[in-house]
Amino acid sequence: MTKSVSAANVPASTVNRATYLKHLLTQASAAADESGLPLKEIRDRAIASVSDRSFPSGKDEAWRFTDLSEMLSHPFERAAQAVYAEQPSLQTSARLVESRYQLTSINGHYVPALSSPSPDTAQSVTIAPLSELIAADDYAKTLAPIISKRLASIQGGEEVFTALNTAGFNDVMVVWVRADQVLDEPICIVRNAQEGVIAHLRTLVIAEPHASFTLLESFSGESGAGDRPRCNNSVAEIWLAEGAQINHIRLQDESAQTFHIAKTAVDQAANSRYQCTAIDLGAQLSRHHLEVYQSGPQTDTHLYGLSALQGRQLADTHSLLTVTYPHSSATQVQKNIVDDRAHAVFNGRVFVAQAAQMTDAAQINRNLMLSSKARIDTKPELDIVADNVKCAHGATVSQLRADEVFYLQSRGISAEQAQRLLLYGFAMEIVEKISVPSLRQSLSDRLTEWAR
Amino acid sequence: MINENAKTILSVRNLHASVEGTEILRGLNFEVKAGEIHAIMGLNGSGKSTFSKVLAGHPDYEVTAGEVIFKGQNLLELEPHERANAGIFLAFQYPLEIPGVSNRDFLRVAYNAHRKANDEEEIDVFDFDDLVEERAGVVKMDVSFLDRSVNEGFSGGEKKRNEILQMALLKPLLSILDETDSGLDIDALKTVSGGVNQLSSPDNATVLITHYQRLLNYVVPDYVHVMCGGHIIKTGGKELALELESRGYDWLTAKEAVA
């Protein structure tokens, strides 16, 4: 069963940015109405934010290298439900890793058959869609106060795609782990899309003091007949209370026609540790806003990213690390591999406020170009007000080095295999940060094949 | 060990080679038989390292004349990896670092490439682990180095030991050690030399390229050659190295300049 996308009200060729954004907001509001979630206040605020803003163009500094014009010719509509064709590949992508904690959505709608939730709020781990939690008798006294305090309240929510998401998500995947809980299995939020639709995917993660777990978000899509373009606009809000630790793995492996726009907004309280390993392999255009804010001192932050792109793919990582308390440390390593006419963008902003003395931060962006037609744009942005800090940054763009290839050849390895090994090594520095062994293995296999 | 009846492994005749249009090797003649250890000495810029890279097939060097016969076949026709699989091994003066690739994986891929090229079955991870850990003993290398990225963060001595470990695994017919002694302290030098001696047999041959006589106290050569201006100007026994150590190169190179 497929819902056809009608372009009747938005003629593709003549659409302008204002009309297009209005169209997206109309679709978002309709999805919000259909969801039945009682979130009028935050929805209204989000609608106001969208109305105040315009659809990004190349004139916006933040979108200078990432051209969304192509999107304008696709009048995406919301999916009315989680329509999907049962197929073996879906089972595979939905069961990326074995875990007892999993929530799966298709086209933005929760799919119970592919999920294993923990909906009981009396337990120490609550993992379920908001649409189901809200129906529970004790919702008003257990979860409601937390939702109203945490949902759509991390800084930066007025950004246009984030606001569109808030205005239009049809459910929220909620992860709430109580104090001192250490989970031995990853929490998996699996996102699949099969239709030529737009979905506003929302995740809310709350780690109470000293909770510790791995969070895996995966985005994939089946390349169906015709492989119609689709758009996933994802927002994850992640709250770490004092001493909490989250190891976040983000795997973007969307189908080739997808526009993937995403925000990961993190709030770190004192002594918390957050690690993100973001792998971008899919989509025709992907943009990841990764923003980390602080609400206490001595936090530890590790941001690792790998984009491996070919054809005409574009992947854009826009990170913002805001350090406002003292004694924190942060490491960021973003690696990009671009082949053919692919294009990787990195904009890494680090802000260290006057109060954030003794900050120790290091950022590095390494790019490997396999083709002369590929393109890299890299822009570190350091804004340091505090005077007693250590902040290093660097960016490199290189090709595979001939002397490295020769070294391997001189050991009996063919030039082709040598190049593959070097590429693999370049990528593995990021992949090996992934703490789930089965996923690390499947990704390293993927990258071995990917490398030509 | 000199044995007149031994098979010739390498025969180089009138070799000329250039890099970026500058001729570095100018009519080099050189012959190596099984069981022999040769030392090639000479000042900086005499062409020693170029010679080793030309033998290994470095793409920056262009052979403009002459021939190189290895085990009866024309070496210059082979790709670098084919030369390695035929039995040529070059221990690099500056071994490269390969971040992200574990030493163990690198060694296994190389080892299996050799096996495959010689129509032998590739060996699996577990058998290889046993083998490589045993060979690591040849250069007294701690097995923890196997799980680090290739040469990354290794000291100079550790890198050179890693080169000899590769040699111990690949069991080449002709090993060419380019300045393997440079930058080594005395303990590392003894370890590396011990490894080279242990791997030397009547069936294979070794070419040591070095500035200094020091290495030759530990690996005793059958022949010492002096290279100057892109070819060999004098060949002698191991005592020639001692003479060079005490007299320097002037007495030889001056003669060369006149000639």
What is the tens place of the pLDDT at every residue in A255-293? 888 999 999 999 999 999 999 999 999 999 999 999 999
Q: Residue B46 belongs to a domain with what CATH number?
A: 3.40.50.300
pLDDT of B38 higher than 60: yes
Tokens at residue A401, please? 């080095």
Partner A contacted by B117 (CB < 8 A)? yes
Are the beta carbons of A412 and B170 separated by less than 8 Å? yes
Neighbours of B45 (CB within 10 A): 12
pLDDT tier for residue B148 given thresholds of 50, 70 and 90: very high
Note which residues in 65-94 of chain B have CB less than 8 A from chain A.
79-81, 83-85, 89-90, 92
Spell out, as residue ranges, where chain A has pLDDT lower than 70. Answer: 1-14, 82-94, 195, 223-227, 450-452
What number is the average pLDDT over the span B116-135?
Answer: 93
Percent of chain A exceeding pLDDT 90 equals 77
Does B129 map to a domain?
A: yes
Question: Under a CB-based contact definition with an 8 Å cutoff, are residues A130 and A37 in contact?
Answer: yes
Tell me, what's the ipTM? 0.95
The minimal CB distance from A421 to the residues B58, B96, B101 is found for B101
Cβ–Cβ contact A19 with B under 8 A: no
Residue boundaries of the structural domains of chain A: 12-296, 403-452
State yes or no: pLDDT of B183 exceeds 90. Answer: no
* Residues 169 through 228 of chain B touching chain A, CB cutoff 8 Å: 170
Residue for token pair 């989680």: A82
B153 contacts chain A (CB < 8 A)? no
| Residue A448 touches partner B, C-beta closer than 8 Å | no
Q: Are the C-beta atoms of residues B57 and B50 closer than 8 Å to each other?
A: no
Q: How far apart are CA A136 and CA A142, in angstroms?
A: 10
Q: Across the interface, which of B60, B98, B114 has its CB nearest the CB of A412?
A: B114
CB contact under 8 A, B99 and A426: yes
Spatial separation of the C-alpha atoms in residues A335 and A341, rounded to whole Å: 17
Instruction: Kindly give, in sequence order, each residue whose CB lies less than 8 Å from that of residue A312, ignoring residues fewer than 6 positions away.
Output: A284, A340, A341, A342, A343
- Is B175 a domain residue? yes
Q: What are the tens digits of pLDDT across the range A24-63?
A: 999 999 999 999 999 999 999 999 999 999 999 999 999 9
Name the one residue in this structure whose structure tokens are 């246009």.
A160
Pairing status of strand A273-280 against strand A300-309: parallel
Residues in A closer than 8 angstroms to B110, CB to CB, are: 408, 411-413
pLDDT at residue B140 in the model? 87
Establish if B2 belongs to a structural domain. Answer: no
Spatial separation of the C-alpha atoms in residues B227 and B232, rounded to whole Å: 4
CB-nearest to B117 from A404, A412, A418 is A412
Closest among A144, A2, A137, A19 to A71, alpha carbons compared = A19
Q: What average pLDDT does the structure give for chain B?
A: 93
pLDDT at residue A89, as a whole number: 62
pLDDT at residue A5, as a whole number:
44
Give the model's pLDDT for residue A129.
97
> Average model confidence (pLDDT) for chain A?
91
A415 touches chain B (CB under 8 A): yes
Taking a C-beta distance cutoff of 8 angstroms, is the pair A283, A258 a contact? Answer: yes
The per-residue DSSP string of A249-284 comes to: EEEEE--TTEEEEEEEEEEE-TT-EEEEEEEE---S
Query: Do residue A409 and residue B95 have CB atoms under 8 angstroms apart?
Result: no
Specify if B1 maps to a domain: no
Of A403, A410, A417, the CB nearest to B84: A410
Helices vs. strands in chain A: H and E counts, helices first: 10, 20
Distance CA A200, CA A105 (A): 11
Give the SS3 label for residue B228.
strand
Which residues of chain A neighbour B177 with C-beta distances below 8 Å?
none
What's residue A448's pLDDT? 77
- For residue A8, the model assigns a pLDDT of 45
Terminus-to-terminus CA distance in chain A, angstroms?
38
- Residue B41's H or E segment, with its range, is strand B37-41
Which pLDDT score, from 0 to 100, does residue A407 have?
96
Q: Which domain holds residue B127?
A: 8-258
**Least CB–CB distance from B58: residue in A406, A425, A429:** A406
Look at residue B3 and tell me if it is in a domain: no
Say yes or no: A395 contacts chain B, CB-CB below 8 A.
no
**Residue B221 included in any domain:** yes
Please, are residues A254 and A285 in contact by the beta-carbon 8 Å criterion?
A: no
- Residues B219-236: tens digit of each pLDDT: 999 999 999 999 999 999
